[in-house]
Amino acid sequence: MSKFSVETIRHSAAHIMAAAVQKLFPDAKFDIGPATEDGFYYDFDMSHRLVPEDLEKIENEMRHLINQKLPFTVRNLTRAEAETILREREQNFKLERLADIPEAAEITFYSCGDFTDLCRGPHVEHSGQIGAVKLMSIAGSYFRGKENNPMLQRIYGTAFAEKSELHDYLQRIEEAKRRDHRKLGTELDLFSFSENVGPGLVLWHPKGAFIRHTFETIWKEEHYKNGYQMLYTPHIGRSALWETSGHLEFYKDAMYSPMKIDNFDYYTKPMNCPFHIEIYKSRLRSYRELPLRWSELGTVYRYEKSGVLHGLLRVRGFTQDDAHIICTPEQIEDEIAEVLRFSLSIWQAFGFTEIKPYLATKPEKAVGDPARWAKALQALERAVKKAGLNCEVDEGGGAFYGPKIDLKVKDAIGREWQTTTIQFDFNLPERFNMTYVGDDGQRHQPFMVHRALFGSLERFFGILVEQYAGAFPVWLAPEQARILPISEKQIDFAHRVCREMRASGLRVEVDPRASSIGAKIKEARNERIQYLLVVGDKEMENGTCAVRSRREDQLGEMSVADIIAKIQDDVAKKI
């Protein structure tokens, strides 16, 4: 086991990668090369346009440098000395980064072999301690992430202390590619995007729409059972609403251009909360009415730059599974505990059992009464403790308008996904002057909590596709069984079986094509159909089907009634 952290190993690997690039492409100019959660990257500006074949050359040069066990050495320089070195080397990007370093801060340069880098460290002692490295991909990146700045070339890589760790990681990458919801969405005919419609706007196909309908139905039923009421609100609102909420002041870059209606500017909504507040304010509220748990599957629109759009995981139009809890200060602790319990129960119902909360606390700049902040944080901490979960604290990571809990779930291959958010808001109740009449006859400001459970239906669906690798469990699958007649003679019988199964509430299709039975079985398996019901002369005569499971293969000849009972049992047990 290495005595260095994986972050230190990866930071050192980025340094060695830059050294290799300098050796192969001497005119290269350097920006930054940090370690990341999965590896590292470095940004370069050079005349040579990198292609995938270059990664092997750079990786070979890195291994050469690693095998030499070159020491990492550090020098402390004055700002003037650092500027002189960088100007002599015409490293203008590094000069700008140098200007970001506070006056009183230490300025360090690390060297390894012939390469020297402005860097705060730390690094391994020598290059031989880096372990196993792999360069993954090439991408473009604007300097400082701003479109008006030069476009740099970014190389992504990863590094581990042991070769076995790298091997396991690369296997996970391959498995992630196999599960990629964008690929499976096309293969399984679930959804698509169209340039004629616009990037980031999802077209739901029948099969995908059915799965969405299924989990929407569960979502609504469970919300009603747990004391929520459903709301519906418009897709657009007048500019005055967004001025009051602060969106036009702080969020305008993510909103679409206004449309003029009756001489008023209207905006498509980026969030649902101002509409819910307007419903709350439609009449005077009493403490006797609280708590209110209002939920909505509300479609919102946000301008996301084209470079960050990513299948269903990052889109421009999406349905947020919103809820707002409005309650008295005395009720807040019980409400937070309940909303956390409810959120966990929904995720577990869909097969996610590894769930971790992250508590984001008060930042330096915040609005709202400090006493309310303290009470809110206590409510969040106690809710996590009551749920028996280990919580990671993000000190100062809360929004300016309130602390929050984020839930992250692990999927079938160990990836962590940011999902549920339980967010206090001390800003909007004040901006909209939300009040209720207390038992003292006076008006008081309620506590307000935003809660997005799935985050968005689109993102949740993308996560589900990858969780199940497209092989949805029987209860969720849009097509639970497919009947495969061997020849044209069995087609009428196949349709009779189909009608009987559909009458029992099952989702069944017939494949009447003249293809061979082998081809039909192969195609059905590729489409992740769980039950394949083969029908030949014998089965037609006996009123049965030869049943195959996508996983278990031959299950034998079964009556239609037994097939129906088996699938219904799978559905009931959420198999």
The 10s digit of each residue's pLDDT in 423-459 is 999 999 999 999 999 999 999 999 999 999 999 999 9
Res 2 pLDDT > 80:
no
- For residue 145, what pLDDT band results from cuts at 50, 70 and 90? confident
Do the Cβ atoms of 429 and 460 come closer than 8 Å? no
Contacts of 118 (CB under 8 A, 6+ apart): 82, 86, 91, 94, 97, 98, 107, 108, 109
Q: State the Cα–Cα distance between residues 497 and 559, nearest whole angstrom.
A: 10
Q: What is the mean pLDDT of residues 257-275?
A: 96
* Active-site position among 324, 362, 451, 459: 324
* Active-site position among 15, 94, 276, 302: 302
Q: Which residues of 77-113 are buried (b: 16+ CB within 10 A; e: fewer)?
A: beeeebbebbeeeebebbbebbeeeeeeeebbbbbbb
Quickly count: other Cβ atoms within 10 Å of residue 540's Cβ: 19
What pLDDT is stored for residue 244 in this prediction?
A: 95
Q: State the Cα–Cα distance between residues 193 and 204, nearest whole angstrom.
A: 9
490 is catalytic: no
Res 390 pLDDT > 90:
no
What pLDDT is stored for residue 13 in this prediction?
A: 96
Do the Cβ atoms of 557 and 539 come closer than 8 Å? yes
Q: How far is CA 326 from CA 141, 281, 292, 424, in A?
A: 43, 12, 5, 10
112 is catalytic: no
Q: What is the mean pLDDT of residues 307-336?
A: 94
273 is catalytic: yes
Q: Which helix (H) or strand (E) holds 382?
A: helix 370-386
Do the Cβ atoms of 488 and 536 come closer than 8 Å? no
Q: What residue type is assigned to position 266 of the chain?
A: Y
Q: State the Cα–Cα distance between residues 298 and 232, nearest whole angstrom.
A: 7
What pLDDT is stored for residue 1 in this prediction?
A: 59
* Residue whose C-alpha is closest to residue 86's, from 49, 56, 116, 44: 116
Question: Which three-class secondary structure state does DSSP give residue 54?
Answer: helix
Q: State the Cα–Cα distance between residues 542 and 530, nearest whole angstrom.
A: 23
Q: What share of the chain is helix, strand, coil (3-state, %, to 5)?
A: 40, 25, 35
> Torsion over CA of 466, 468, 474 and 475, rounded to 10 degrees?
-60
Q: What is the mean pLDDT of residues 268-282?
A: 97
493-547 pLDDT, tens digit per residue, is: 999 999 999 999 999 999 999 999 999 999 999 999 999 999 999 999 999 999 9
540-562 pLDDT, tens digit per residue, is: 999 999 999 887 678 899 999 99
450 is catalytic: yes
Contacts of 127 (CB under 8 A, 6+ apart): 12, 16, 65, 66, 68, 69, 70, 71, 72, 112, 113
Q: State the Cα–Cα distance between residues 280 and 465, nearest whole angstrom.
A: 37
404 is catalytic: yes
Ranges of H-type helices in 191-254: 206-225, 239-245, 247-250
* Active-site position among 273, 327, 498, 545: 273
459-479 pLDDT, tens digit per residue, is: 999 999 999 999 999 999 999
* Active-site position among 134, 247, 276, 450: 450
Do the Cβ atoms of 475 and 210 come closer than 8 Å? no
Q: How far apart are the first and last CA of the chain?
A: 41
Q: State the Cα–Cα distance between residues 353 and 250, nearest whole angstrom.
A: 37
* Active-site position among 123, 316, 404, 548: 404
Q: State the Cα–Cα distance between residues 63 and 67, nearest whole angstrom.
A: 6
Residue 481: CA count within 13 A, CB half-sphere? 33
| Token pair recorded at residue 206 | 């029948």
Q: What is the DSSP string of 66-112?
A: HHTTPBEEEEE--HHHHHHHHHHTT-HHHHHHHHHS-TTS--EEEEE
**Ordered strands of the 108-112 beta sheet:** 72-76, 108-112, 115-118
What pLDDT is stored for residue 535 in this prediction?
A: 96
Res 365 pLDDT > 90:
no
Q: State the Cα–Cα distance between residues 135 and 56, nearest whole angstrom.
A: 8
* Active-site position among 91, 153, 320, 467: 320
Do the Cβ atoms of 166 and 134 come closer than 8 Å? yes
Ranges of H-type helices in 387-516: 428-431, 457-467, 491-503
* Active-site position among 31, 117, 321, 322: 322
